Amino acid sequence: MKIKEIIVVEGKDDTVAIKRAVEADTIETNGSAVNMATIEKIKLAQETRGVIIFTDPDFPGEKIRKFISEHVPDCKHAFLPKQQALHKRGRGVGVEHASDQAIRLALQHAQFMESEAVEQITKEDLVDAGLIGGHQAKERRQMLGEKLRIGYTNGKQLHKRLLMFRITKEQFAEALAAVLQEESK
């Protein structure tokens, strides 16, 4: 599988994992120390071939994703569920720990995040669905993020992410129903 866009990853181990799974070029941010020279490379990549941001499913990865998105708009985003990025011996989480299949699937489903979106799903909908507050909210958000392929978010980020990806009420309802069905098993 060949990827046209340049994939932005956090480090060398991520590049190795990406190249093991697909034919692609990468730009490494060197972790959360993203400098303006790297941002300029990403801007050039966006202008010439397009960019897919593919960071680790953790707090530093989200911070890097947000920083790049602020400086380089209109990038695609690929997300891995946290369980698919866990080290086999529990030593951290990262793209470099994912299987080739998980990486290919995440890249196939890379999508644009819209900066302006019409509100379809309200924060009240999220509270009513048990996604904000409550003892199972975190687990539900995690499963919902996997079903919708938007990655894991905390309660505050979920609403924004749903809007940025223009998730419809119907898509939300279907994914939530699947989450609730899995919970009841």
Of residues 82 and 176, which shows the higher confidence score?
A: 176
Query: Domain residue spans in the chain?
Result: 6-112, 123-183
Asked whether the beta carbons of 43 and 72 are under 8 A apart, the reply is yes
pLDDT tops 80 at residue 161? yes
pLDDT tops 80 at residue 51? yes
Of residues 113 and 167, which shows the higher confidence score?
A: 167
The model's confidence at residue 152, banded by pLDDT at 50, 70 and 90, is: confident
Architecture of the domain delimited by 6-112:
3-Layer(aba) Sandwich (3.40)
d(CA 181, CA 178): 5
Buried b (16+ CB within 10 A) or exposed e, 125-154: bbeebbbbeeeebeebbbbbbbbbbbbbbe
pLDDT for the residue numbered 41? 96
Beta strands in the chain (DSSP E): 6-9, 26-28, 51-53, 76-77, 111-112
The model's confidence at residue 127, banded by pLDDT at 50, 70 and 90, is: very high
Considering the chain, what is the average pLDDT of its residues? 90
pLDDT tens digits, one per residue of 138-149: 999 999 999 998
pLDDT for the residue numbered 130? 94
pTM above 0.85, yes or no: no
pLDDT for the residue numbered 133? 86
pLDDT tens digits, one per residue of 8-48: 999 999 999 999 999 999 999 998 889 999 999 999 999 99
pLDDT tops 60 at residue 166? yes
pLDDT tens digits, one per residue of 81-118: 888 888 877 778 999 999 999 999 999 988 887 555 45
Which percentage of the chain shows pLDDT scores above 70? 96
